[in-house]
Amino acid sequence: MRKILVYALMIFLSAMFIMPFYWTFMTAVKSIPELYQFPPAFWPEEFLWENFSKAWLKQPFDIYLKNSVTVVVISTFGQLFSCSLVAFGFARFDFKGRDAIFVLLLATMMIPWDVKMIPLYMEFNWLGWINTLKPLIVPSFFADAFFVFLLRQYIMTVPKEIDEAARMDGANNWQLYWRIHLPLMMPALILVGTFHFMNAWNDYLGPLIYLNDQSKYTLTLGLSMFKGLHEADITSIAAITVILVIPPLILFFFAQKYIMDGSVGSSVKG
Amino acid sequence: MVTQNENIAKRRFRDKVSPYLFISPWIFGFLFFTLGPLVFSLIMSFYDWPVVGERTFVGLDNYKIMLTQDPLFWDSLWVTVKFGLFFVPFNITLGLLLAVLLNQKLAASGVFRTIFYLPSVISGVALVTIWGWIYSHEYGLLNFFLSMVGVEGPNWLGDPSWSLLAIVVTSLWGLGGTMLILLTGLQAIPKELYEAAKISGVPAWARLLHVTIPMLSPMLLFTLITSIISAFQQLTLALLLTGGGPLESTYFFAMYIYDNAFKHFEMGFAAANSWVMFLIILVLSMLVLKSSSAWVYYEGEMKSDKGDDDA
């Protein structure tokens, strides 16, 4: 009896979480009259797949997509490389000031983005980076604190004997990082890569502040601008929303087991 | 002989220096994208500083004007606090509820977990678009469901008495992260504790209160602090869902900062605003941390083997 109640509750809650997705998708493939029908049409009479291609052509969405992909691909690479280097440094060397620096690194996670937003804008303005993709790409080559923390926790679980064996075989620091630890870190790197991909792909405030020209827009910014201009064109907005949501969802399904195995949670305890 | 000595010296130098080389990306990033901007922002806050044009030193005027002459400062702060008072407790209790449900031995609990986490992987822009339609006064899904049970739904986003609540609900849709952290915590609680409690005849609600919550308290502390921080930084939802309206009922503090900086181009004033936000967050976090010794329970081993991560 209790089991049944729990299941009923879970199914009800799941429906609440899924309904908005379902509704958006159905809105994207509906015909115009169905949009304003009452009671609402939960299953369109006919799936108008061409709504997607029609919507896509209403603005230079392929340029926005290209910009998004550029930012995401390069910055993910930058994040993976820089964070793994730094995490390896913290996890495997004993150097002067290490613990103090690490505490400082953790402390930076507490700094609200709003405080950095204004001076960073000025900084990028001086550098002449406003209205380019650089502010969205370059900082990711300088190791995000949270990702460093995750990777460092992961490296700490690798037995030190592996390092000693590699050193006996004549590996230097770089080789130890590149040949031994980087491959061992793979599950944690997938986790970091997935998180960063989602952050970068979904980012709205960064592009909003740093980009002015339509030709530089990313997909999120493009969609929000499109929405502002064509508020009544609901099917097109829904279609672009579906397209915007699909890549992170797909990535999430593939990376699920790395996200769900608890490395996120277990690294925060204590 | 000489070359060998040189080699040793070289190696020593390398072992001394190379750790710093490994962490140098973060060091440079810290200097250029964190410390530098922070110092710069603090300096800016004492200036009247437009994006282009002359800047003038004004001392504490920005802070004085904000605190004494700008009602929007207090109003937006109050909106943010109200939002936080709803968002933080609901985010944690609902996250905990979902985590507890998922932690039951259910078939397909993996599927449910995935479903609950889905909203957390999509962009705020998509989130806002989707919820904008759900809240729509005339053909919104929410009001349709309400009409089925005979209730006439309000104009959620257009009515100042409902708009903030609408934003709270939308933001709660993304509680997957909190849920996941708490679920990991639950899974780490030793089963023996529950069994012992069960054998002693402790009822389920008391097990939750006296076993689960204390054992989970370090995680609850973490989610409490991160929820407070994210409540204070809430910007995207208000910016895109309501634009701060109606009647400034959803004009968040972060939006006040954003507008001062990028609409009115008063960079110095906005920098001063952001420092006030920073201080508030800092003080709140400190208070929570201070209070935590009274309610957070650390298992001995947990504390000792992770001792250096405490900050």
Task: Verify that A17 and A118 share a domain, yes or no.
Answer: no
Question: Are residue A136 and residue A159 in the same domain, yes or no?
Answer: yes
**Same domain for A67 and A43:** no
The enclosing domain of A214 has a CATH number of 1.10.3720.10
pTM of the entire structure? 0.88
**3-state SS assignment for residue B279:** helix
Euclidean distance between CA atoms A248 and B119, whole angstroms: 10
Residues A123, A170, single domain; the answer is: yes
Identify the domain containing residue B33 by its residue range. Answer: 1-44
pLDDT value for A44: 84
Same domain, A81 and A134: yes
> What is the model's pLDDT at position B34?
95
Which residues of chain B are within 8 Å of residue A106 when distances are taken between CB atoms? 309, 311
User: Are A241 and A145 part of one and the same domain?
Assistant: yes
Banded model confidence at residue A264, pLDDT cuts 50, 70, 90: low
Calculate the alpha carbon distances from B284 to A258, A268, B115, B275, B279 in Å.
Answer: 33, 20, 33, 14, 8
A22 and A127 together in one domain: no
Same domain, B95 and B229: yes
The tens digit of pLDDT for each residue in A166-187 reads 999 988 999 999 999 999 999 8
Residue B303 lies in a domain: yes
Q: Which H helix or E strand runs over B48?
A: strand B47-48
What gap in Å lies between CA B30 and CA A253, rounded to an integer? 33
| B102 to chain A: closest CA residue | A10
Q: Is residue B52 situated within a structural domain? A: no
Comparing CA positions, the residue from B99, B100, B105, B134 lying closest to residue B117 is: B99
Task: Sort out which chain A residues have CB atoms less than 8 A from B309's CB and list them.
Answer: 106, 153, 270
Same domain, A104 and A134: yes
Do residues B2 and B103 share a domain? no
B213 touches chain A (CB under 8 A): no
B190 cis-preceded (ω within 30 degrees of 0): no
Write out chain A residues lying below 8 Å of B134, CB-based.
20, 23
Residues of A in contact with B229 (CB under 8 A): 110, 112
Chain B CB contacts of A79 below 8 Å: none
Report residues of chain B scoring pLDDT below 50: 1, 301-311
B28 and B131, same domain (yes or no): no
Distance CA A25, CA B176 (A): 21
Question: Considering only CA atoms, which of A242, A216, A198 is closest in space to residue B129?
Answer: A242
**pLDDT attached to residue B305:** 41
**How far is CA B220 from each of CA A25, A265, B99, B227, B283, rounded to the nearest angstrom?**
35, 11, 12, 10, 19
Give the other-Cβ count within 10 Å of A253's Cβ. 12
Tens digit of pLDDT for each residue in B92-130?
Answer: 999 999 999 888 878 888 889 889 999 988 988 999 989
Tell me: do A175 and A227 sit in the same domain. Answer: yes
Indicate whether B26 and B80 sit together in one domain: no
Is pLDDT of A43 > 70? yes
Q: Rank A103-112, A132-141, B1-10, B146-155 by mean pLDDT and report only the highest.
A: A132-141
Domain of A96 in residue numbering reads as 58-266
CA B120-A183-A261 angle, to 5 degrees, is: 35
**What pLDDT is stored for residue B4 in this prediction?**
67
* Residue B20 within a domain: yes
Asked if B142 reaches chain A (Cβ–Cβ under 8 Å), the answer is no
Distance CA B133, CA A20 (A): 9
Q: Residue type for B195, please?
A: E
Tally helices (H) and strands (E) across chain B: 16, 2
Residues B130 and B249 in one domain: yes
* Minimal C-alpha gap between A73 and chain B (Å): 17
* Helix (H) / strand (E) containing B161: helix B160-172
Tokens of A98: 């290490």
Confirm or reject contact between B34 and chain A (CB < 8 A): yes
Tell whether omega for the bond before A39 is within 30 degrees of 0, i.e. cis.
yes
Task: Say which CATH number the domain at B296 has.
Answer: 1.10.3720.10
**Residue B200 maps to a domain:** yes
Among A9, A29, A49, the domain boundary falls at: A49
Q: What was the pLDDT predicted at B299?
A: 65
ipTM over 0.95: no
Identity of residue A35? L
Q: Do B38 and B66 share a structural domain?
A: no
Same-domain pairing of B39 and B69: no
Main-chain dihedrals φ then ψ at residue B56, nearest 5 degrees: -130, 140
Q: What is the pLDDT of residue B308?
A: 42
A104 pLDDT above the threshold of 90 = yes
State whether B69 and B20 are in the same domain: no
Q: What is the pLDDT of residue B298?
A: 76
SS percent in chain A: helix, strand, coil, step 5: 75, 0, 25
Same domain, A244 and A199: yes
Q: In terms of domains, do B89 and B16 share one?
A: no
Q: What is the DSSP string of A181-237?
A: IHHHTHHHHHHHHHHHHHHHHH--HHHHHH--SGGG--HHHHHHHHHHH-TT-HHHH
Torsion of CA A162, A167, A170, A176, to 10 degrees: 70
On whether both A87 and A201 belong to a single domain, the answer is yes
B146 & B227 share domain: yes
How far is the CA of A7 from the CAs of A14, B27, B106, in angstroms?
10, 50, 8
Contact call for residues B241 and B131 (beta carbons, < 8 A): yes
Please name the residues in contact with B43: beta carbons below 8 A apart, sequence gap of 6 or more: none
Is B169's Cβ below 8 Å from some Cβ in A?
A: no
B50 found inside a domain: no
E strands present in chain A: none
CA B253/CA B269 separation, integer angstroms: 13
- When divided into structural domains, chain B yields a total of 2
| Nearest-angstrom CA–CA distance, B105 and B13 | 56
pLDDT of residue A263: 55
- Mean pLDDT across the stretch A90-99? 92
- Whether residue B159 is found in the same domain as residue B110: yes
Question: In this structure, are B15 and B153 located in the same domain?
Answer: no
| pLDDT of A163 higher than 80 | yes
Kindly identify which residue of chain B lies nearest to residue A241, measuring between CA atoms.
B126
Interface test with A, best of B112, B121, B184 (most A CBs within 10 A): B121
A209: pLDDT strictly greater than 50 = yes
Split into its structural domains, chain A has a count of 2
**Rounded CA separation A2/B123 (Å):** 37
**CB within 8 Å of A35: residues ≥ 6 apart:** A27, A234, A235, B139
Same structural domain, A63 and A37: no
